[in-house]
């Protein structure tokens, strides 16, 4: 008799013994009378002695059955406690590190969509490096990580935004180059902390160097608000998505020399969490950082963090793709 059969047989034995009736005991155990009878009989064969005296009107434990009844009851209670604990663990909130640039209404919609699927999310906002560290340290169980576009599930196009409407459809970085002999302050390109990643920052820095901008013209601010204030309060330009520019009332244009993007991948710390989060609608995740929305459906490919804190591999969930 395997463990699960033993637990169910003991459950039937306990309920029948406590109620002195197969009919009432089976109902209390949530099974039919015939099933309860078969389970008790199987338990008796397994233990080698009769557990119950079956009378025409009452069923009572034998001396052997009375001796084993407390142990059987403890086994049933332990199994129920295990099931309850598993259910609580299943309902435990999943800590999710998100970009601090995410739309709060869209994060609320993601939480609601997860709740409809029996998943409780506990979002936490953080810049890119901190999100990776939170996941590596198991402080959170999942994170929307900043990754190069070639590794991304979702991408967000970036451009430059400022107070002055540009005349051209694209804004070229080279137009910010100070004139020869000009020692005054020059217009700067301001990056939010979300873009302080190599695939955005370094590419833009190389363009700035190649067209002759000063090193001081490319700055990474300590917060999204400070970066936005630079553009709102002067002639500096903010690197941001179109939606961010609209929110701030700034004029946005794509960059002439390159097309930078924010790339995102949802990464978890375990295959079990990857399976659960794969049930989330991809478009609900995409809308949080303002990414191009994925087609309706589950976010099927959720990477799982390797034991190495800085390396990630892809966990393929057994569901249809939502990309």
- H or E element in which residue 154 lies: strand 154-157
pLDDT given for residue 318 in this prediction: 29
Q: Phi/psi of residue 259, each to 5°? A: -120, 80
Query: Would the pLDDT of 161 be above 70?
Result: yes
pLDDT given for residue 149 in this prediction: 93
Under 8 Å between Cβ of 258 and 228:
no
- Annotate 206-267 with DSSP letters as a single string: HHHHHTT--GGGEEE-SSHHHHHHHHHTSS-EEEE-HHHHHHHT-EEEEBSS---EEEEEEE
Residues 24-38 have pLDDT tens digits of 999 999 999 999 999
Apex 161 CA angle, 159 and 167, nearest 5: 95
Interval 121-131 mean pLDDT: 96
CA-to-CA distance for 269 and 58, rounded, in angstroms?
55
Q: What is the mean pLDDT of the chain?
A: 88
pLDDT tier for residue 71 given thresholds of 50, 70 and 90: very high
pLDDT tier for residue 307 given thresholds of 50, 70 and 90: very low
Beta pairing partners, 305: 312
Cα–Cα distances in Å, from 258 out to 32, 203, 255, 305? Answer: 71, 8, 6, 31
Domains and CATH numbers, the chain: 3-90 (1.10.10.10), 92-154+262-313 (3.40.190), 159-177+187-259 (3.40.190.10)
CA-to-CA distance for 74 and 14, rounded, in angstroms?
10
pLDDT tier for residue 305 given thresholds of 50, 70 and 90: low
Interval 243-264 mean pLDDT: 95
Query: Would the pLDDT of 115 be above 90?
Result: yes
Select from 210, 249, 215 the least CA-distant residue to 229: 249
Identify the three-state secondary structure at position 96: strand
Residues 205-237 have pLDDT tens digits of 999 999 999 999 999 999 999 999 999 999 999
Under 8 Å between Cβ of 11 and 26:
no
CA-to-CA distance for 211 and 180, rounded, in angstroms?
13
Confidence (pTM): 0.71
pLDDT tier for residue 302 given thresholds of 50, 70 and 90: low
For 220, half-sphere exposure in the C-beta direction (CA atoms, 13 angstrom radius) is 12
Residues 282-293 have pLDDT tens digits of 999 999 999 865
Note the residue count of the chain: 323
Instruction: Give the orientation angle of helix 3-19 with respect to helix 63-91, to 10 degrees.
Output: 120
pLDDT given for residue 299 in this prediction: 55
Q: Phi/psi of residue 120, each to 5°? A: -100, 120
pLDDT tier for residue 1 given thresholds of 50, 70 and 90: confident
Interval 128-143 mean pLDDT: 95
pLDDT tier for residue 183 given thresholds of 50, 70 and 90: low
Of all residues in the chain, the percent with pLDDT exceeding 70 is 89
What is the sign, positive or negative, of the torsion defined by CA atoms of 67, 71, 77, 80? negative
pLDDT tier for residue 303 given thresholds of 50, 70 and 90: low
């Amino acid at each position: 008799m395997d463990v699960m059969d033993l637990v169910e047989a003991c459950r039937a034995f306990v309920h029948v013994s406590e109620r002195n009736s197969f009919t009432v005991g089976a109902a209390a155990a949530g099974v039919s009378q015939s099933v309860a009878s078969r389970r008790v009989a199987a338990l008796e064969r397994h233990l080698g002695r009769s557990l119950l005296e079956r009378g025409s009107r009452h069923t009572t434990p034998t001396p052997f059955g009375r001796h084993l009844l407390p142990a059987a009851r403890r086994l049933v209670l332990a199994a129920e406690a295990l099931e309850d604990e598993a259910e609580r663990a299943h309902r435990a909130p999943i800590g999710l590190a998100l970009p601090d640039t995410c739309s709060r209404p869209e994060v609320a919609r993601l939480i609601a969509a997860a709740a409809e699927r029996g998943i409780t999310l506990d979002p936490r906002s953080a810049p890119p490096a901190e999100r990776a560290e939170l996941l590596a340290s198991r402080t959170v169980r999942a994170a929307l990580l900043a990754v190069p576009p070639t590794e991304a599930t979702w991408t967000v196009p970036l451009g430059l935004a400022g107070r002055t409407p540009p005349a051209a459809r694209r804004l070229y970085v080279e137009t910010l180059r100070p004139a020869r002999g000009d020692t005054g302050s020059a217009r700067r390109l301001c990056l939010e902390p979300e873009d302080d990643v190599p695939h955005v920052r370094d590419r833009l820095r190389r363009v700035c160097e190649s067209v002759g901008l000063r090193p001081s013209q490319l700055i990474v601010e300590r917060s999204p608000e400070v970066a936005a204030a630079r553009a709102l309060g002067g002639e500096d330009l903010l690197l941001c998505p179109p939606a961010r520019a609209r929110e701030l009332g700034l004029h946005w244009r794509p960059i002439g020399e390159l097309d930078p993007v924010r790339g995102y991948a949802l990464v978890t710390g375990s295959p079990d969490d990857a399976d659960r989060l794969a049930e989330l609608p991809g478009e609900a995740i995409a809308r949080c950082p303002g990414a191009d929305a994925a087609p309706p459906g589950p976010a099927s490919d959720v990477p799982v963090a390797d034991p190495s804190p800085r390396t990630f591999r892809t966990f393929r969930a057994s569901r249809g793709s939502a990309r």
